[in-house]
Structure 1
Amino acid sequence: MKLLIITAIAEFEKEIKKILKNAKVKTFSFKEVTGYRDSTEDALETNWFATEMNENTSILFYAFVSDENVDTLFNSIGEFNKKQESLSHIHVAVTNIERSN
């Protein structure tokens, strides 16, 4: 069993739900969150907001998934990210679960 964590901009919500369904992940949790990006190291001409901390509406998914579903999810998310023309991508991480009850 693995713990899967997915973060992305809110606009990717439908695509993430579709990816989870195709990977046979039937149960997951979802939360709207506020994402922050420190742009103090960006060149001034590329910082449209003229602030140091940019805030955006993001989403967080997490689910307990079986080992065999992890590769399918990572491959699907990788394919989705390759097709994106924007700088924004779906971010995914997985951790081992040592014990659960």
Structure 2
Amino acid sequence: MKLVIITSISEFEKEIKQILVKANVKNFSYKDVVGYHNSSGEAIGENWFATEMNENESMLFYAFVPVENVDLIFNAISKFNLQQETISKIHVATINIEKSN
């Protein structure tokens, strides 16, 4: 069992839900969160918002997933990200679960 954590901008909510369903994830949770990006080290011309502190509407998904389903999620997210023309991508990480009750 692994804990899968997914973050993205809110605009990708529907696609993430579809990815999880197609990967046979039966139960998951999600929450609206505020995403933060500190762009103080970027040149003003590269900074879309032209400020140093950027916040945006984001989503945080998490689910306990059987190990055999994790690659399905990662592969689907990689495929989705490759097709995006936006700077923003879906981010995914896993954490091993040693014990659960």
TM-score range, shorter chain: over 0.9
Q: Which runs of 5+ in 2 are unaligned?
A: none
Shift of 1:48: 3.3
TM-score (norm 1): 0.97
Shift of 1:51: 1.7
The alignment's C-alpha RMSD in Å is 0.7
Match of 2:42 in 1: 42
Name segments (4+ residues, structure 1) moved above 4 Å: none
Give the percent of matched residue pairs that are identical in Structure 1 and Structure 2: 64
Structure 1, residues 31-80: CA drift from partner, whole Å, max 9, x if none?
00000000001111222323211000000000000000000100000000
Q: Which runs of 5+ in 1 are unaligned?
A: none
TM-score (norm 2): 0.97
* Residue type of the alignment partner of 1:79: K
Match of 2:56 in 1: 56
